[in-house]
């Protein structure tokens, strides 16, 4: 699949078929995350792949309950002190953002649906998954085969989002 077609294909998927996701597909998309760039190559991430229904229920109960219906949930954790901090910018957030986007695009290429989940009670997820004290839970995504066409969302026009040489809000 052409790169731009993969980008266009990725949409937030919130309904899934019950079909399990083969392990080789899970490994394929984790490999895409593994290859992501990171601050000073610190690779501060750890991904918890949740397939157990009881654990999925606990992760869902920490925020978006519907994700427990997906066959898999992937939870992205980060060790926040390894990457740099500039002012109030904590680069572990960027590192996880890039890795997750790699993962989600790889999933789209394989016909799998994902949805970035940024709203959750971190303490509840840490407890459910046994995430060490020093780690942050940054994001998660359900993973599975979409059961329906994802809702198409709109974007600002290209002209609205950039300017040459000088900041120009349009
Ligand atoms: C940082 C971030 C956090 C998000 N958190 C949630 C969330 O908690 N629950 C949810 O259903 N969608 C969440 N989304 C998905 C967005 O609503 C979605 O990406 C956006 O509406 C654009 O739609 P699209 O992904 O289909 O292109 C999040 C997306 C991002 C990038």
Q: What is the mean pLDDT of each run of 10 residues along the chain (170 residues)?
A: 97 97 98 97 97 98 97 97 88 97 98 98 98 98 96 95 94
Domain CATH for 153: 3.40.109.10
Output the six-digit token pair for 25: 């597909």
Say if 103 falls within a structural domain. Answer: yes
pTM for this model (two decimals): 0.97
Output the six-digit token pair for 8: 């266009």
At residue 78, the pLDDT reads 98
Question: What are the CA-CA distances from residue 42 to residues 32, 58, 98 (Å)?
Answer: 16, 30, 13
Say if 86 falls within a structural domain. Answer: yes
Tell me how many domains the chain contains: 1
Say if 23 falls within a structural domain. Answer: yes
At residue 2, the pLDDT reads 97
CB 115 within 8 A of CB 141: yes
Say if 70 falls within a structural domain. Answer: yes
Distance between Cα 118 and ligand 1 center (Å): 7
Say if 166 falls within a structural domain. Answer: no
Say if 69 falls within a structural domain. Answer: yes
Full domain range(s) for residue 19: 3-161
CB-defined site of ligand 1, < 6 Å: 11-12, 64, 115-119, 150, 153
At residue 108, the pLDDT reads 98
Distance between Cα 85 and ligand 1 center (Å): 25
At residue 89, the pLDDT reads 87
């Amino acid at each position: 699949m052409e790169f731009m077609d993969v980008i266009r294909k990725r949409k937030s998927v919130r309904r899934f078929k019950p079909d399990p996701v083969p392990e080789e597909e899970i490994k394929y998309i984790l490999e895409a995350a593994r290859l992501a760039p990171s601050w000073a190559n610190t690779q501060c991430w750890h991904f918890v792949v949740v397939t157990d229904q009881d654990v999925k229920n606990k992760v869902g109960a920490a925020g978006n309950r519907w994700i427990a219906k997906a066959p898999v949930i992937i939870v992205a954790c980060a060790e926040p002190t390894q990457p740099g901090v500039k002012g109030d910018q904590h680069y572990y957030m960027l590192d996880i953002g890039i890795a997750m986007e790699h993962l989600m695009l790889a999933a789209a290429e394989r016909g799998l649906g994902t949805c970035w989940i940024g709203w959750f009670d971190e303490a509840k997820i840490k407890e459910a998954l046994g995430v060490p004290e020093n780690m942050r839970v940054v994001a998660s995504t359900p993973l599975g085969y979409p059961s329906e066409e994802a809702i198409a969302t709109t974007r600002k026009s290209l002209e609205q989002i950039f300017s040459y040489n000088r900041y120009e809000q349009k």
